[in-house]
Amino acid sequence: MRTQPNAAIRAIFSRRSVGKLIVPGPSEAELITILRAGAAAPDHKLTRPFWFVVFEGKSREEFGTVLAEALTSRLAEKGIEPTNGQVGKEQAKLMRAPLVIAVAAVRSEEISLPDQEIISAAAAAAQNMLLAATSLGYGSIWRTGEAAYDPKVKAALGIKEADFIIGFLYFGSITEGLAPEPHDPDISAIASSWEG
Ligand SMILES: Cc1cc2nc3c(=O)[nH]c(=O)nc-3n(C[C@H](O)[C@H](O)[C@H](O)COP(=O)(O)O)c2cc1C
């Protein structure tokens, strides 16, 4: 029996959400490793229901314009005009980290699966990416928010309205001294042996 947790187990427990992520972000080679980790997730019937969109540098700001316009439309439907502060905040969202990857679950045209199964596979891909980044020494956070359900945002990512944005994964370095404590979970309330 192992007495020391291996690297994968250590990454699982040390992965924590970090809201403030700074440069440097993952290098291009590390980005490929993170994407490949995502693509290595399990999926039912090998439909590969994954769609990853990478934002670095200027594309984060450009996609911010999409997010701001989408917010403006959502509020307009409710007869509300956004404040400059709301628009500015939405516009700047992807600037909160040097690297952002949008993860979507997309349907196969040939093989029909319940939504749950493509969402589960894409969520596993997202978690694989977070764990890969943790192993590489980077901080991360999985975010959704209203934009993740907005058809205009989905269209801008190149997916259909019926597909799902699983999340926007933010990656970057953690400010020295601000790394959160690793998880120390209590499983007593959520796990049990089946007794019939
Ligand atoms: C589907 C999903 C959506 C999330 N959306 C947000 C979000 O919009 N904003 C945010 O700050 N954190 C978000 N999180 C991160 C959770 O807040 C975080 O995982 C949780 O507080 C547990 O903390 P940990 O990640 O450090 O274990 C999301 C996590 C998941 C799985």
72-125 pLDDT tens trace: 999 999 999 999 999 999 999 999 999 999 999 999 999 999 999 999 999 999
What 3-state class would DSSP assign to 168?
Answer: strand
Q: C-alpha distances in angstroms, 46 versus 39, 43, 103, 117, 125? A: 11, 6, 18, 11, 13
Probe target for ligand 1 pocket from 142, 165, 166, 178, with the most ligand atoms within 8 Å of CB: 142
Rounded to two decimals, the pTM is 0.97
Match domain 20-58+96-174 to its CATH number in 1.10.10.10, 3.40.190.170, 3.40.47.10, 3.40.109.10.
3.40.109.10
Going through 34-106 in order, the beta strands assigned E by DSSP cover 50-56, 99-105
pLDDT at residue 8, rounded to an integer: 95
Q: From the CB of 182, is ligand 1 less than 6 Å away?
A: no
Low-confidence ranges of the chain (pLDDT < 50): none
How do the domains of the chain map onto residue ranges?
20-58+96-174
Probe target for ligand 1 pocket from 89, 143, 153, with the most ligand atoms within 8 Å of CB: 143
Omega of the bond leading into 24 within 30 degrees of 0 (cis):
yes
pLDDT at residue 196, rounded to an integer: 87
Cα(145)–Cα(143) distance, integer angstroms: 7
Nearest CA to ligand 1 atom 5: 143
